[in-house]
Structure 1
């Protein structure tokens, strides 16, 4: 009877340890100020509990599994995506699409899912020089990646936020996909319109800006890109949704 009592106690201890392990919270490494930006836009914990994001960019419908980053982009002329292993382009349009699907399929997901994608694994944070526009100063956080993280680990981002509201206002970024070499040439985007969808503050319009000799924004470089039909869900889509369509 004594042996049974000891065995029962050990079993309870093992169950208790497993329960505690399940309750363990991931220790965040991002700066406190960036955490306030995440909170302003809906909260990083809420984002990590979400599973599917969809939005439209013009006639393109983008759908992303937020946990696996599997993606589908459908448009009237072509479709492309990432099935978890490979990037694909729809067979019927493979001879007419002039872009690079590997570069494009998740390009606007990263712009649209700001600032939350700046909490991905393998990120290094540091304070950046503030950006000034129309007499207002916006503090910045620079984001770089550890070696061998993603397809372009040498990319850098700087998120600039309103110091009073902690809403994201600007994004500076480099592009190293083609060169595979670090760059200090930053492009600059203004996040000028936002909307609340399913508890998250998501962008309605992005505008690329020209810069002066000091790297500060001056005027729009081209018309704004607009987004519509935002949707964030906690349910996942079937894996087959992200697979390349079978040839007709």
Structure 2
């Protein structure tokens, strides 16, 4: 939505009287016409209702959150760690139980180790923190919404809409999500998604998955799902067979110093494989 603000030109006549000279001098000052066009992103009712249900204002008013996180697929643990992230998603830190730290400082992703060739670092640092932040990132710059309709989610019909991204947004702008909200509570209870990280779009779209949120708890008035399950997905049936699960514990809103996200002398940068 565009709003125009116009500064109207005016002519101002200033009369200057000089005591030394009885002649009056008139100085004409002309103000320049300026037109400013300010872009204001319009929030659609679908996402606005989710943000309200998840108390986005309270979430954004906090500086950072931390939580204990564990995720497994096929019975094998992928990651157990403490995660600290700024609520605006601009900086993230993952402290693994193996004592390796993965950090995103707003510009680069790096691992604070020279011995751990951790190829999944970029995926981990942008995926799990994104899933916990999803209700608050629905109207980020570069987000596009389409195809709003009812879709099957378990035994119910939930409101859903497709989220995609402008070119150049994040590591994987070709990713998309189908977001599901409970029509009675407006809580975001799940999302279908593809993972194009390290692969082409055709391959990613041939294997879509879904995350299902449950066991919600409130922390300072903000609801968080403490159990996530991962499933195969198709548009007709919604989520199907479970393939993984994650648990979130000890969620806290905290204040952190900037040096939490700084490199160490042994840090190695992890580049984006999609570029």
Compute the TM-score of the two structures, normalised by the length of structure 1.
0.79
Report if the CA contact (8 A) 2:192-2:233 is conserved: no
Q: Which residue of 2 aligns with 1:170?
A: 190
Deviation for aligned residue 1:35: 0.7
Mean CA deviation greater in 173-182 or 201-210: 173-182
User: Counterpart in 1 of 2:35?
Assistant: none
Match of 1:152 among 165, 172, 191: 172
Tell me which of 87, 90, 102 is aligned to 1:66: 87
2:252 to 214, 231, 242: 231
Q: CA 1:205 to 1:93, structure 2 compared with 1: closer, same or farther past 3 Å?
A: farther
Confirm or deny that 1:111 pairs with 2:131. Answer: yes
2:49 maps to 36
Asked if structure 1 preserves the Cα contact closer than 8 Å seen for 2:152 and 2:237, the reply is: no
Could you tell me how far apart the structure 1 residues matched to 2:122 and 2:154 are?
37
Q: Which stretch of structure 1 is more off in the superposition, 63-72 or 141-150?
A: 63-72
The structure that is strand-richer by fraction is: 2
Distance 1:171 1:212 in 2: 11
Change in CA separation of 1:82 and 1:129 when aligned onto 2, cut-off 3 Å: same
Q: Give how far 1:231 is off.
A: 1.6
Give the ranges of 4+ consecutive aligned residues of structure 1 lying more than 4 Å apart after TM superposition: none
In structure 2, relative to structure 1, the CA distance for the partners of 1:92 and 1:76 (3 Å cut) is: farther
In structure 2, the partner of 1:184 is 205
Matches within 5 A, 1:11-50: 27-43=40-56, 45-50=57-62
Does 2:243 correspond to 1:221?
Answer: yes
For 1:144 and 1:171, locate their aligned partners in 2 and report how far apart those are by CA, in whole Å.
13
Q: 1:194: which partner in 2? A: 216
For structure 2, list consecutive stretches of 5 or more residues without a partner in the other structure.
Answer: 1-14, 17-38, 71-79, 268-275
Q: CA deviation at 1:241?
A: 0.9
Distance in 1 (alpha carbons) for counterparts of 2:214 and 2:127: 19
Specify every segment of 5 or more residues in structure 1 that has no aligned partner in the other structure, as ranges: 4-25
Structure 1 residue 86, shift from structure 2 partner: 1.4
Tell me the distance in 2 between the aligned counterparts of 1:172 and 1:89: 29
- Please give the alpha-carbon distance, in whole angstroms, between the structure 2 residues aligned to 1:216 and 1:204: 21
Q: 1:242 aligns with which of 261, 267, 274?
A: 261
**Pairwise CA RMSD of aligned residues?**
2.6
Checking the alignment, whether the CA contact within 8 Å between 2:145 and 2:164 is kept in structure 1 is yes
Q: CA deviation at 1:244?
A: 2.3
Tell me what 2:63 maps to: 51
Greater percentage in helix: 1
Aligned residues: 220
